[in-house]
Structure 1
Amino acid sequence: MKRIIVACGSGVATSQTVASKVAELCEQRGIMAEVEAVDIKSLDAHIKNCDLYISITPYVKEDYGVPTISGIPFLTGVGMEEAMKEVERILKVK
């Protein structure tokens, strides 16, 4: 099973919303993934054990050692299909 981390400033509202949406889309597409919302301050503790990081907060292009994409499309709906295709590509789901 793949592991996706979604992080925002507090780890409560925005990241939970995006994590729920991504989990729902993964389930619809048959992607076996655990999607977890965390706050940005605890990101370092969680990112080491994930396959994909979805960022809600603006971030510096830092190399976390895992693929990183923006979560804004999952929040707004604008560009969500393209973002989900990127999730599939990263997780190598066909």
Structure 2
Amino acid sequence: MKKHIVFACSSGIATSTVVAEKVVEHCKNNGIDVVYQQAIIGELPSLDNSVDLFVVTSQVEAKLTTTLVNALPIVTGFGEEEVLDKIVELLKG
């Protein structure tokens, strides 16, 4: 199963990179092949409805129809497993 995820943060580089590595590995371990890109939060409206999931580490003000997961717990380490499992559940659903 191949899924497309956009990882976004304020800069498009820092926290989204850390989160992307952990999410892609967790998805792989759960039988999900991930194609991904990184973006700046402000780019999400232009990517809406073109991917399976947005995974963000910053506040998103825009109203989007693509499912969005706040992955800040992956950065902090508090609640990381729950967020990783939620992402897998959403992608498999």
* Category of TM-score, reference length = shorter chain: 0.7 to 0.9
Q: Is the 8 A contact 1:73 1:80 kept in 2?
A: yes
* Aligned partner letter, 2:14: A
1:50 equivalenced with 2:51 (yes/no): yes
Distance in 2 of aligned mates of 1:7 and 1:29: 22
TM-score, reference length from structure 1: 0.83
SS at match of 2:32: coil
Match of 1:36 in 2: 37
Match of 1:13 in 2: 14
**Moved >2 Å (runs of 4+):** 44-48
Distance in 1 of aligned mates of 2:28 and 2:3: 12
Q: Is the 8 A contact 1:53 1:66 kept in 2?
A: yes
Q: Is the 8 A contact 2:5 2:34 kept in 1?
A: yes
Long gaps (5+) in structure 1: none
TM-align CA RMSD: 1.7
Corresponding pairs, count: 92
State the shift of 1:11 in Å: 0.4
Q: Is the 8 A contact 1:6 1:36 kept in 2?
A: yes
* Aligned partner letter, 1:3: H
Match of 2:23 in 1: 22
* Aligned partner letter, 1:86: K
Identical-residue share of aligned pairs (%): 32
Q: Is the 8 A contact 1:22 1:35 kept in 2?
A: no
Distance in 2 of aligned mates of 1:26 and 1:88: 6
State the shift of 1:44 in Å: 2.2
State the shift of 1:89 in Å: 1.6
Match of 2:66 in 1: 66
> Residues 72-91 of structure 1: matches in 2 within 5 Å?
72-91=72-91
